[in-house]
Structure 1
Amino acid sequence: MTDLSWFSTSHWIMAGLLLGFAIAHSGLAALRPWGEQKIGSRLYRVLFALVSIPFATCLIIYFFNHRYDGLVLWRVQGVAWVKPTVWWLSAISFFFLYPSTFNLLEIAAVKQPQVHLYEKGIIRITRHPQMVGQLIWCVAHTLWIGSSFTLLTSIGLMAHHIFAVWHGDRRLKSRYGKTFLAVKERTSIIPFLAILQGRQQLKLEEFLKPAYVGVTAFIALLWWGHPWLMVMTAKVPW
């Protein structure tokens, strides 16, 4: 009989948290047109944030506190090239993860929240930068930690983001119709594919904007504060 004692309760809890977050986050995104008609775009954005941000915070804390749970699948932290590779991949992942947060006043509902159809900057590289950024982050952290808990977390995160690719395209098609289909033809999900196929052109000047300086500063702050973050989350008794 196979011994599954290593599959601790924390694996099930994380799976449940990931499923719950996916349902809440994608569900509220799907309900946005209906919700904005009922309570307005600003109030709906506040509701979305009040659900998504605490849920995501719980996920992050629980992951930090249980990242080494379960079976040790590999142990490569002592290999010379692994640590710099993990840091560089993690840094690159944030340049894909956070372009969607550039409209900070809309996120905070100070300005009227909008559904945007972009075709510039990071979108020229991939139409779904958050999915690509999450993939890079998962590869880096799963390589570094090497536990079954981290692998399960990465699989769950990627399953949600792959669903979000389909879900996001579906919502944009419903809203913009043929205009979105034209953008879809000129962009790609796989990074740089549309550029290599000649359907898109990379314009580096579009990356010369203050928002990317902000992302760079955030990465530096995260690098500096990472040990402190580990200590603080460890104080949460989860």
Structure 2
Amino acid sequence: MAALLVAFAIVHSGLAALRPWGEQRIGARLYRVLFALVSIPLAAVLIIYFISHRYDGLQLWNLQGVPGVAPVVWGLSVLSFFFLYPATFNLLEVAAIQKPEVHLYETGIIRITRHPQMVGQVIWCVAHALWLGTSFMVVTCVGLIAHHLFAVWHGDRRWGQRYGATYSALKARTSIVPFLAIAQGRQTLVWREFLRPAYGGVTAFILLFWWIHPWLVGSTTALGW
């Protein structure tokens, strides 16, 4: 699992770093397609392997029978998806139907944290580690969180090189730690910014994922990877 996570991190972050170079040579749409064709199969392998081996290793703790743990795990998992997928706001760009662009957001969830995907990944890891309690899950969490912490530095560096003083000003008004900039008075939370179709789409995805979750676990485990 550690090897798979390292391989995915190198490919995913490497292709992100090469984006300006690649777009100059083959165009933004084609580079996005190439990025997807490489990243999505690797991510699928990671997910399948994780589901198939989630109970491997040592059982470090077992809280599955403790009252209230299951709702907490589900609640944290739902919350994690609202942080993990803010990039779905531009679905036509994600699918390369429109020309993919790099956007500097300072609205909605970005007011809470400048790196919501990292925060969402940490929340997801906490929820699943709480439920599974295996050494395999601990290794998975360490790898995923380490990659996302690197992505925080990597993203700030790339955006800083691209936007210079504009991004420095955005960094000054936002924070990596959730709600820190708001607590320090550098940012203001505007609740109406969360009333947009994209958040409804994320909610629909969460409900769909909750519905198919038993089937996904069963069918993936049956592959025997």
TM-based fold match above 0.5: yes
The sequence identity of aligned pairs, in percent, is: 71
Of the three residues 207, 222, 225, the one matched with 2:212 is 225
Amino acid at match of 1:32: R
CA distance in 1, matches of 2:169, 2:79: 28
Task: Name the structure 2 match of 1:215.
Answer: 202
The reply on whether 1:179 has 2:197 as its aligned counterpart is no
Task: Give 4+ residue runs of structure 1 displaced > 4 Å after superposition.
Answer: none
CA distance in 1, matches of 2:197, 2:223: 35
Deviation at 1:62, TM superposition (A): 0.3
What SS does the aligned partner of 2:61 have? coil
In 2, the alpha carbon distance for the partners of 1:237 and 1:88 equals 30
TM-score (norm 1): 0.94
1:141 aligns with 2:136: no
Matched, 1:76 2:68: no
Structure 2, gaps ≥5 residues long: none
- SS for the counterpart of 1:201 is coil
The letter for the 1-side match of 2:41 is P
Give the number of aligned pairs: 225
Tell me how far 1:236 sits from its aligned partner.
1.5
For 2:28 and 2:110, how far apart are their aligned partners in 1? 24
The alignment yields a C-alpha RMSD, in angstroms, of 0.5
CA contact (8 A) 2:115 2:152 kept: yes
The equivalent position to 1:167 in structure 2, one of 133, 154, 159, is 154
- Larger displacement relative to structure 2 (185-194 or 101-110): 101-110
Q: 1:10-31: CA deviations, max 9, x gaps?
A: xxxx111000000000000000
Residue 225 of structure 1 and its aligned partner are, at CA, apart by 1.2
- The runs of 5 or more residues in structure 1 that have no matched partner are 1-13
Alignment-mate amino acid for residue 147 of structure 1: T
2:39 alignment partner, one of 46, 52, 58? 52
Which letter maps to 2:217? M
TM-superposed deviation, 1:235: 2.0
Distance 2:63 2:202 in 1: 29
- Secondary structure of 2:129's partner? helix
Give the aligned partner of residue 9 of structure 1: none
- Residue in 1 that maps onto 2:87: 100
Q: Which amino acid aligns with 1:182?
A: A
**Equivalent AA in structure 2 for residue 114 of structure 1:** E
Q: Given the two structures, how large is their TM-score scaled by the length of structure 2? A: 0.99
